[in-house]
Structure 1
């Protein structure tokens, strides 16, 4: 069996990495261009692999594969996180149709109020618009440059909700979803189905389907 000790590593002794006394340097300029260097590299790659080396990597790869398998089979929940005033909320991306910049809301005579804001046009589609802040009994907040609108529901039944800021999509293992407390300050607990943590802040995970069902019954 050829070992590393059997390889002629003349480049480390008399070559560019050594004292540079090799007679071939004048012709090849660098050891990388020398046939001795190439032959030594070939022998190094073709040498027999020590049995303990194979066993070590077999164990390492098996452990990594097992860890990846455990992570891939763990059930995950994808949520869109957003802010209303000082409160943080989330809904499942399965209920999210789109996030858009604020569009003009057209009030309806004798119908629009603090909860039902009116109608808004999104690329030619007229959608109902409601205030989640009013629905969840939250304090009013000043508008900002981060304002967005969430289009929530299904392709046949959608609502548009203005929000103060969108924090993007985050994925959580189901085991990390905490049960909501008995009393949730300033929000309607009936629509909170869990609590998640983002940047050390508690986020109310809302039941979007229940929320939309309630809006349909109340306003339509």
Structure 2
């Protein structure tokens, strides 16, 4: 009987280990926590001087020079129709690759990298009233004491006008 119990226990551990996990960079915008697939994130940097580009969409903050490469920076607050926050020492730019373009996204802060079991992710409830376009959301991840809004960053960046963002 102990052998059978051991096999069951071992099988359970193996099953748990093989559960598919999402690895996410967790960041804050306003009062909300968001998760972004770590495979799209190149780096996270402090906010340097940003050069404004005339006649660009309102959510495009400008461009930065990152080690000799010019990168478009967008303000996710503005993109999502949220109240724009004055950036402070906690504010960061998440540099991500989106459809072979490198784009920076200003966020209020970055808190952690975590692994979220795919089984804890649910579709975004249709009843939720939000200013954020539902197409930008992959789902909602449930953690013990909090919820993470999972972004589809490709749609956030490229949906309206890829040429306006990628080649400002």
Provide the residue aligned with 2:88 in structure 1: 144
Counterparts of 1:36-185 in structure 2, within 5 Å, are 56=2, 58-59=3-4, 61-108=6-53, 110-112=54-56, 114-154=58-98, 156-182=100-126, 183-185=128-130
Highest RCO, 1 vs 2 (Cα 8 Å, sep ≥ 6): 2
Larger deviation, residues 130-139 vs 204-213: 204-213
Q: TM-score, normalised by structure 1?
A: 0.66
State the Cα deviation string for residues 13-34 of structure 1 (Å, max 9, x = none).
Answer: xxxxxxxxxxxxxxxxxxxxxx
Name the SS of the counterpart of 2:39 in structure 1. Answer: coil
Structure 1 residue 198: Cα displacement = 4.2
Provide the residue aligned with 2:136 in structure 1: 191
State the Cα deviation string for residues 155-207 of structure 1 (Å, max 9, x = none).
Answer: 94111011111121111111110110213423222201100134633321110
Q: TM-score, normalised by structure 2?
A: 0.85
RMSD: 2.2
Q: 1:95–1:209: 8 Å Cα contact kept in structure 2?
A: no
Question: Structure 1 runs of 4+ off > 6 angstroms?
Answer: none
Indicate the structure with greater strand content: 2
Q: 1:97–1:154: 8 Å Cα contact kept in structure 2?
A: no
State the Cα deviation string for residues 41-81 of structure 1 (Å, max 9, x = none).
Answer: xxxxxxxxxxxxxx74x456434421221012211111111
Provide the residue aligned with 2:150 in structure 1: 205
Name the SS of the counterpart of 1:160 in structure 2. Answer: strand
Structure 2 CA distance for aligned equivalents of residues 154 and 142 of structure 1: 26
- Structure 2: gaps of 5 or more residues: none
Indicate the structure with greater helix content: 1
Structure 2 CA distance for aligned equivalents of residues 141 and 81 of structure 1: 18
Name the SS of the counterpart of 1:161 in structure 2. Answer: strand
Provide the residue aligned with 2:162 in structure 1: 216
Larger deviation, residues 116-125 vs 61-70: 61-70
